[in-house]
Amino acid sequence: MKKIRFIFSVTMALLVMGAAHAGGKFKPFIMGDAQGSDMASTVAAVKSKLAANGFDVAGEYTPYDSATIIAITNSALKDAAAKSDFGAFGAATRVTITKSKDGNIQVAYTNPNYFAAAYRMNADLNAVASQLSAALGNKGEYGPEDGLTADALKEYQYKWLMPYFTDRLELAESGSHEEAIKKVEASLAAGKGGTSKVYRIDVPGKDETVFGVAMKGAPEECAGDQYIMSRIDFKDTNSTGHLPYEIVVKGNKAYALPAEFRIAISFPDLSMVGSNSFASIMCAPGAIEATLTAAAGGSSGNGY
């Protein structure tokens, strides 16, 4: 009976995804089913269902009282990351439990296919999307009013002269991959830049590791997770899965995505000016780069 229910769930998930992508477009987040009556019971139920459907919890983060983020991975995500240059950025999926403005608890997760395209991963993540749907449900994708095609995501640029995925920030350099990893671990453990470690995932067969970085106590106010989300995550359906930010250690260097890309890929319809716009966090790019540089063990100057 359990096997029949699982097959039915996966079949329905594929049908929903097929309908959603009839036009070949994706949105960054997927709304799941309600899982509990309060935050604590919902978080527990979500973790149980994720484990039952083949996912490992890499880390957990509460950026503010109304939200909990669970970073998950599995062999399929790590294998996909291994096949792609800088694929570590896509080695985790983020599951979020958020208490919305109306008091309801929203369970959602980042869309594997959306971010696989945005991070130029050479892999099909439909199976991962089906597993997530079987575990948490799929009430549809959300984020911008209109989605983006895979081709548009691969070449995504918020505005002219803004960075692409390939325009990564070099935060720090070390003598070796192992030394670079130790430097990030030590910096996060020491809380440099007001940061802490949410998760670490090592990509199999490559000198590539991704760290999820909490900027909850960032002294650079403009880099703070709550500061930024309070200004741009204003819709009825919360986009909590934008967090946390990543540092990727590849070879002997630590990298991050510039805020002009990393924020925009989660909020591609955010206006440039006005209320709840990029202008409301115009100090964020520089502050985030400085904060992540400290978290990577680099210096504020250009010499790491």
Give the pLDDT of residue 175. Answer: 98
Question: Any idea where the domains of the chain sit in the sequence?
Answer: 2-14+26-141, 169-295
Architecture of domain 169-295 in this structure: 2-Layer Sandwich (3.30)
Per-residue CA distances from 166 to 163, 221, 262, 268 (Å): 8, 27, 12, 17
Give the pLDDT of residue 102. Answer: 86
CATH topology of 2-14+26-141 equal to that of 169-295? yes
pLDDT by residue, tens only, the chain of 304 residues? 444 444 444 444 444 444 345 459 999 999 999 888 899 999 999 999 999 999 999 999 999 999 999 999 999 999 999 999 999 999 999 999 999 988 899 999 999 999 999 999 999 999 999 999 999 999 999 999 999 999 999 999 999 999 999 999 999 999 999 999 999 999 999 999 999 999 999 999 999 999 999 999 877 789 999 999 999 999 999 999 999 999 999 999 999 999 999 999 999 999 999 888 999 999 999 999 999 999 999 986 544 4
Query: 259: closest CA among 302, 210, 223?
Result: 223
Give the pLDDT of residue 87. Answer: 97
Q: DSSP secondary-structure letter at 86? A: T
CATH of 2-14+26-141, one of 3.40.50.1000, 3.30.310.70, 3.40.50.300, 3.40.50.2030: 3.30.310.70
Q: Are 235 and 100 in contact (CB under 8 A)?
A: no
Dihedrals phi, psi of 64, to nearest 5 degrees: -160, 170
**Could you tell me which residues come within 8 angstroms of residue 61 by beta carbon, excluding any fewer than 6 positions away?**
68, 69, 71, 198, 212, 214, 216, 243, 244
